[in-house]
Amino acid sequence: MIKYNLLLYLLTPYLIIKVIANAIKRRNGISFILQRLGLNKIKKSKEVIWLHASSIGEAKLAILIYKSLEKKESNSKFLITTTTQSSSKLINEIGGNVEHLYLPIDWYFTTKRFIKSINPSICIIIETEIWPNLLQICKKNNIPSIVVNARLSKKTTDINKFVKSIYRSSLSYLTKIMCKSEVEKKKYIELGADPRNVEVTGNLKFIEFSITKNNEDIIKRKYVLAASTHQDEERQIIVEWLKLKERKILLVVVPRHPERLGDILSDLPLLMINISIRSKGEPIKKNTQIYIADTYGELNGLFEHCEFVFMGGSLVDHGGQNFLEAAAYGKTIIVGPYMYNFITETEEFLKNNCMLMVKNSTTLKHLFEKLIKSKKRRELFGSNAKKLLESKKDIINNYSRNIKSLMS
């Protein structure tokens, strides 16, 4: 820990500049800077239930845990800390008995002062945030610290020996590690966690989505959806789609980053394709073959009304995008071979006939044809996907019971 703190203090000028630069770039405001640097005043609290979630993905899971615990701990005060403005907005919108603060950088005395001020009865970390000083201070003050939906990225497991030794020391301060799968449990134990403190509780992402039905159908035609696509995927998918010579069904492409529209169009032979673009207000005509929905906030409705879905980030070496929302709508899901960011979920979906995987884009034409021709096949895979999600509903209760047992 001495080496870790020495390194952290040597990096202090860089960390301060980075916080200020990020705040200016994203217009986060002075409050963000003060809180991240531990310079804000915090009123000392009675004991609070403290959840920490790095960014928006983890914040969604923190909200699930909060809502489950709040039902039985209605008199308790809750605090959710994050490190991004987008996640803070998400938490502030839910209302209820929960406060949001930005977590300060893990300097020892800053973190010690922060923990003393918030006075937590428990520290619940979402997924991957392992901060050595934070965990050590919790341990010294007899504050239980746990990781829920615990996972370790490839970047962490492949890190150098020095950083691994810091992780190993940090894991010894944790009271409990509740993993999302057996694969993650094995990773934590290999990294140095005490096997007695590591268990598999389930994957919270399976129950993350509460879908909104009766979204407006903005397409008004039968369509297949290519969702959250990345660079070069649009070209690959569109090339295979055009081989179908399909006239009745439309292909709707939703790029993961809408600002890439120019790059997407530059990859396509525009004179040979009838394309309409949503951000430009172009209508869908009878002869429109491709519709690029390069806008935000409309994916729910597009999932609900499509025939089936191809999930992006999987034909290129990105690791895949989260497909569980499509599953919640009972849609057949197609993915490419690069799904390592969701390897456990993908394996379970494939095993239970809830998903189809292609080895490369050249096999998409054949699969598109089969699914378009067979409504029964589409409904089977979609129904299986929805049932699998519904079978996971008790996971949140398992987490809540385990957390409450550590608080008593």
Q: Give the CATH number of the domain where residue 382 resides.
A: 3.40.50.2000
pLDDT recorded at residue 210: 67
| Distances, alpha carbon 10 to alpha carbons 7, 106, 151, 340, in Å | 5, 13, 29, 35
* Shared domain check, 124 and 189: yes
d(CA 342, CA 331): 18
* Shared domain check, 108 and 69: yes
Query: Nearest 5°: phi and psi at 99?
Result: -115, 155
| pLDDT higher than 80, residue 277 | yes
* Shared domain check, 311 and 270: yes
* Shared domain check, 166 and 248: no
1: in domain: no
pLDDT recorded at residue 271: 81
Task: Answer yes or no: are the C-beta atoms of 65 and 400 closer than 8 Å.
Answer: yes
Place of tokens 């003050």: 141
DSSP helix/strand/coil, 309: strand
Which residues constitute the domain of residue 151?
27-203+394-407
In the structure, what pLDDT confidence band is assigned to residue 105 with cuts at 50, 70 and 90?
very high
**What angle (nearest 5°) sits at the alpha carbon of residue 364, between those of residues 361 and 369?**
165
Q: CB 316: neighbour CB atoms within 10 A?
A: 17
| pLDDT higher than 90, residue 96 | no
Q: What is the DSSP letter of 29?
A: -
* Shared domain check, 282 and 325: yes
Residue range 342-383, pLDDT digits in tens: 988 999 999 999 999 999 999 999 999 999 999 999 999 999
| Distances, alpha carbon 116 to alpha carbons 4, 16, 141, in Å | 22, 23, 9
Q: For residue 382, which of 334, 337, 348, 340 has the smallest C-alpha distance?
A: 334
Q: Residue 112 has which token pair?
A: 């010690």
Query: Phi/psi class of residue 112: alpha, beta or left (left: φ > 0; alpha: ψ in -120 to 50)?
Result: alpha
d(CA 164, CA 128): 14
Strand partners, 50: 79, 123
Q: CB 48: neighbour CB atoms within 10 A?
A: 18
Q: What is the mean pLDDT of residues 76-105?
A: 91
* Shared domain check, 123 and 73: yes
17: in domain: no
Q: Supply the CATH number for residue 126's domain.
A: 3.40.50.11720
Tally the domains of the chain: 2
Q: What proportion of the chain, given as a percentage, has pLDDT over 90? A: 77
Residue range 107-128, pLDDT digits in tens: 999 999 999 999 999 999 999 8
Task: Answer yes or no: are the C-beta atoms of 258 and 294 closer than 8 Å.
Answer: yes
* Shared domain check, 85 and 187: yes
Residue range 41-72, pLDDT digits in tens: 888 777 899 999 988 889 999 999 999 999 88
Place of tokens 């899971």: 61
pLDDT recorded at residue 162: 86
Q: For residue 149, which of 51, 78, 79, 50 has the smallest C-alpha distance?
A: 51
Task: Answer yes or no: are the C-beta atoms of 362 and 240 closer than 8 Å.
Answer: yes
